[in-house]
Amino acid sequence: YDNGIRNMIIGNFNQLDLRLDKGALWENFLVSERRKQNTYKDTFAKMFFWRTKQQQEIDFVEEKEDEITGYEFKWKAKKSIRLPETFVKAYNAKTEVIDRNNFRGFVVLK
């Protein structure tokens, strides 16, 4: 979860606006902060990712209090994002898209 070590290994310390891996860094940040908040708030949650053989995916899946929520992380906000219906139907899950406009509610638990 340490992006500094990751950046050293791949030899990339460019500013964010010059990077091609913004999405990966964004996902790493969100998962790290969510895990910290769950620990800090003493909230137990199982955490996964979901991917099919057909390459459908959900970036982050959280199971908490018998409720499953799938999160899709996007660096740039998009008007419309289609999340895999197979995931929603298979797990009776809620879904949410997290981007730079709404991430605070995801990383800071109440």
Give the tens place of pLDDT for each residue, 11-50: 999 998 899 999 999 999 999 999 999 999 999 999 999 9
pTM for this entry: 0.88
Strand partners, 61: 48, 70
Total domains in the fold of the chain: 1
Locate 68 and state its tokens: 């499953």
CB atoms within 10 A of CB 52: 12
Give φ, ψ of 5 to 5 degrees: -65, -45
Whole domain around residue 49: which residue ranges? 3-107
CATH of the domain at 28: 3.40.1350
56: Cα within 13 Å, side-chain hemisphere: 11
* Share in percent of the chain as helix, strand, coil (round to 5): 35, 25, 40
Give the tens place of pLDDT for each residue, 83-110: 899 999 999 999 999 999 999 999 997 7
